Amino acid sequence: MAKREEKTLGIDADKPGKTVLLMGVEAIARGALEAGVGVATAYPGTPSSELIDRLSKVAKKFNMYVEWSINEKVALEIAGAASLSGVRAITAMKQNGLSVALDFLSGLTYTGINKGLVLMVGDDAGALSSSNEQDSRHIARMLDLPLLEPATYQEAKDMAKWAFELSEKFSTVCILRSTTRILHGRGNVTLGELPDTKHHPYFDTSKIYAPPMGRASTSHAALHKNLEEIRRFHDASPFNAYVGPDNPGLLVITSGTGWLYSMEALKILAAEKEAGILKLGTTWPLPRNLLRKYLVQANKILFVEEVDAFLEAGIRDFAADLVSGRTWRFFGKSTGHINPFGELNPHIVIRAIADLLDMTYRPRGSAYQKACDEIASRYVPPRDLQFCAGCPHRATYWSLKDALRLDGRDGVVTGDIGCYSMGQSPAGYSQMKTAHAMGSGVGLASGLGKLKQFGFRQPVLTVCGDSTFFHASIPALINSVHNESDFILLLLDNSGTAMTGFQPHPGIDRNAAGDPAPRVDAEKLCKALGVPVTIVDPYEVTQTRDAFLIILQGGKGPHVVICKRECALIRATKEGALFKVRVNPDKCLGEQCGCNRYCTRVFGCPGIRWDRDTKKAEIDEAVCNGCGVCVHVCPLSAIDREACP
């Protein structure tokens, strides 16, 4: 066999002109390297987490500083400090994270920056891994910031590099916005030069980066002026392109994922001669001169964009002031041609274009879909989201459910964002009743705990992961101490930011580069606040339940229970299973009265499966992570475990 000549090239390959396969978010990381970025920061969040993950692996090679920050606001502040001191910096976050960073960002907009500062935001269109769907482009408009949207993997890299230049040229943060299919998809990227950047940070103390006291509105005016200059720059940007005939029967205006979907649609419909596509890469401020040039050539305009009708609203607004003699008809999300939420896909775009061009488009009918579903269901039954086998969160929720049912006062559990958000579903026995923002579970609990004066009698608990605790829960906990609120905070400490890929946080003894780092001890921190702390091992479900009950029925004031168990996946990869587990079929009662499939039907760990033929439970050895908790759950003591060496 021929020996492969070279390994797959990564984002650090010094091979200008070479074409490599990169994820969109990797392409952005490469673009930042080509721009000579010095500092990169983020708090993890799908689909943005890979930027720091990839850069942290090459940080030493490029003499960069890369960190996982405590939250997105601090991440932007760390990057901002570099920019103000003359070092190019990038920070990454998801749409929810941008809300966290917004307070600092709105201030930074007014003061301006020094060296290029790029804010990459990954919008989770369709909210596949998010608590909400949110179009971050509105933030650029709200804060008068330039906005770029890559439509291809190549553009992701090129735009990232260019974003630094734009940022420096106009002394402003540049927002680089993309969505999941670009960020997490892979495509060909032709590499550029890697500069040999030497950073010489210096904070010029002759300058003041603060909005003028009492005259901030003058700065706002200056921002608008700056924006007009950026608009002219955008008009000439090579990231905007038109493909199609003059005077098209239909003008498609698109950005991001919509570009390739629209190209595909025209190709499938063989409508390249009838319709043209204007792809915008610079989506705020809108390149008005460019838009005018193409708008005046068409009567029918279709907007294809992902999440909100951002271009649609902005361009219709602009067109209202245009004198062209044309009677435009605009189509898109407002007319139902394009889905007003969720991800785009080629089918949606093809159907919209076919309708507007009076063409026939016959996708496979519903019978075909039905047949596919039927075949698929034979192999893949519909399943709820589940915690992994051996997940300590399942064990914690199990004990929590038991404690609350025994307590019988209809205790309320608030929560927030993390793997443990599944506590709202059957995976966590539907115990978690709220999820809004990182840390908001503690804030809500702090508020519920103050309703006693109105006769509120339900016990109040909140769940919060270890990463979330540091991210945004601490202020709410301090608030509850000072204002004497009464609730129990279950700190679900699984030693990592598990949901986004085990990134470290301040409670972990290593940093983004994998080097040893001081660990902030949550227990000591809580105790220093005067909050009593109890530590339990979630795998010991009975002891954990009893500890919950004692605290529920005894305590006053905030009480922290640290439910400490490393994520089963981290442990399994590092050390393997704790126990070898097996079901004794002679003791297993199965569906009969007295059990009724308690382990597989109620406890629900995917490591145990139900054998329909033998009517017994059995361990799925390929899935079981060997936590041994099911031994405590089985009412018949039919599950045995043996400690692994």
Q: Which amino acid is at 393?
A: H
**Which positions ≥6 away from 626 have C-beta within 8 Å?**
390, 572, 576, 577, 578, 579, 580, 581, 641, 644
* Interface residue with other proteins, options 516, 594, 612, 622 (CB under 8 A): 594
Which of the stretches 155-163, 205-213, 409-417, 594-602 binds other proteins when contact is defined by CB under 8 A? 594-602
Binding mask 618-637 for other proteins (x = CB under 8 A): ---------------x-x--
Q: Residue 70 in contact with residue 101, Cβ under 8 Å? A: no
Q: Residue 255 in contact with residue 262, Cβ under 8 Å? A: no
Q: Tell me phi and psi for residue 116, to 5 degrees.
A: -50, 130
Which of the stretches 324-332, 438-446, 506-514, 593-601 binds other proteins when contact is defined by CB under 8 A? 593-601
* Tokens linked to 315: 């361009």
Q: Are strands 65-68 and 39-42 parallel, antiparallel or unpaired?
A: parallel
In the complex, least distance from residue 582 CB atom to other proteins, rounded to whole angstroms: 20
Nearest Cα residue to 637 out of 593, 582, 592, 591:
582
Strand ranges of the sheet holding 250-254, from the earlier edge strand across to the other edge: 241-243, 275-279, 250-254, 300-304, 329-331
- CB nearer other proteins, residue 320 or residue 593: 593
Query: Does position 318 bind other proteins by CB under 8 A?
Result: no
**Which positions ≥6 away from 491 have C-beta within 8 Å?**
464, 465, 466, 469, 522, 526, 560, 561, 562, 563
- Around Cβ 256, how many Cβ atoms within 10 Å? 30
- CB nearer other proteins, residue 73 or residue 545: 545
Query: Does position 593 bind other proteins by CB under 8 A?
Result: yes
State the number of binding residues for other proteins (CB under 8 A): 14
Q: Is the peptide bond preceding residue 285 cis, with omega within 30 degrees of 0?
A: yes
In the complex, least distance from residue 552 CB atom to other proteins, rounded to whole angstroms: 12
* Interface residue with other proteins, options 17, 325, 408, 455 (CB under 8 A): 408
In the complex, least distance from residue 398 CB atom to other proteins, rounded to whole angstroms: 10
* Interface residue with other proteins, options 110, 209, 233, 598 (CB under 8 A): 598
Which of the stretches 248-256, 342-350, 529-537, 592-600 binds other proteins when contact is defined by CB under 8 A? 592-600
Helices (H) and strands (E) in the chain, counts: 21, 24
Query: Does position 552 bind other proteins by CB under 8 A?
Result: no
Rounded to whole angstroms, the Cα distance separating 124 from 302 reads 23
* Interface residue with other proteins, options 144, 274, 402, 466 (CB under 8 A): 402
- CB nearer other proteins, residue 103 or residue 591: 591
Which of the stretches 9-17, 109-117, 282-290, 405-413 binds other proteins when contact is defined by CB under 8 A? 405-413
- CB nearer other proteins, residue 241 or residue 631: 631
Query: Does position 595 bind other proteins by CB under 8 A?
Result: yes
Which of the stretches 25-33, 256-264, 401-409, 490-498 binds other proteins when contact is defined by CB under 8 A? 401-409
Query: Does position 602 bind other proteins by CB under 8 A?
Result: yes
The alpha-helical segments, DSSP class H, found in 512-576 are 522-528, 541-554, 568-575
In the complex, least distance from residue 386 CB atom to other proteins, rounded to whole angstroms: 17
Contact residues for other proteins, defined by CB under 8 A: 401-402, 405-406, 408, 593-596, 598, 601-602, 633, 635
